[in-house]
Amino acid sequence: MANRPSPRHTPAPLAQPRYAITPPSEPRGLQVTLPADYVAFCMHYQDRYLRYTRVRVADPGLSRELVETALGSVAINWTGLLASHCPAAEAWDILGSAIAQAVRGQAAASLCNVVYRILPQLQADVVVLRHRLCLSDEQAADLLGVEESVVTSQLRMAHRAMSGHLAYSPVSVDAVS
């Protein structure tokens, strides 16, 4: 007969180790390292993104929040954006979507937003960047992620389209709001 433990014999439970949990003496924050090219991207575009958003939204706090949210989305999708044809254009679309959602359903807070009701998105962006932010064609093209010739042609088309809607030259949009 095989030696089997008797059914009455059960091993004693092992003593559970006890650990004292003591909080650290100072709160420690996480050290997050972002890709250097993403940080450079943010440094290059964030001020102009913020200026543009302030013109569209007219609320400095909301403007900052929208830009931070957009750049956060860019960070999350950074690898995919780098694989795209033009990361700047992709990031601009992310920012534009955030702004459009924020101003949707609101009365035009400024003449600037009326332009978005009259013109296609790209033409309206070009008008705002050139006439409200006073960017050059080169600077606007860089921000939008398009060729400079696209900015030039879109601006011409916008001027033609707006001449039928406005009693004054589109260039005078600068002086209005």
Q: Which DSSP state fits 171?
A: G
What pLDDT score was predicted for residue 109?
56
What CATH number is given to the structural domain containing 125? 1.10.10.10
Q: How does the average pLDDT of the chain come out, rounded?
A: 84
Tell me: do 120 and 147 sit in the same domain.
yes
Among the three residues 106, 127, 157, which one is the final residue of a domain in this structure?
Answer: 106
Both 177 and 112 in one domain: the answer is yes
In a domain, 9, yes or no: no
CB within 8 Å of 34: residues ≥ 6 apart: 75
d(CA 154, CA 160): 10
* Residue 47: per-residue pLDDT: 97
| Structural tokens at position 12 | 């004693």
Q: Which residues of the chain have pLDDT under 50?
A: 169-177
User: What DSSP state is assigned to residue 77?
Assistant: T
* 67 plus 122 within the same structural domain: no
pLDDT of residue 175: 41
CA angle 119, 142, 56 (to 5 degrees): 45
pTM here is: 0.74
In a domain? residue 5: no
Token digits of residue 51: 């200026």
Q: What is the pLDDT of residues 104-140, one digit of tens each?
A: 866 655 667 888 889 999 999 999 999 999 999 999 9
Looking at the fold, whether 44 and 98 belong to one and the same domain comes out as: yes
What confidence score (pLDDT) does residue 92 get?
98
Question: What size, in residues, is the chain?
Answer: 177
Domain that holds residue 50: 35-106
pLDDT on residue 13: 57
Domain count, the chain: 2
Number of Cβ within a 10 Å radius of residue 104: 7
Residue 86 lies in a domain: yes
Percent residues over pLDDT 90 in the chain: 60
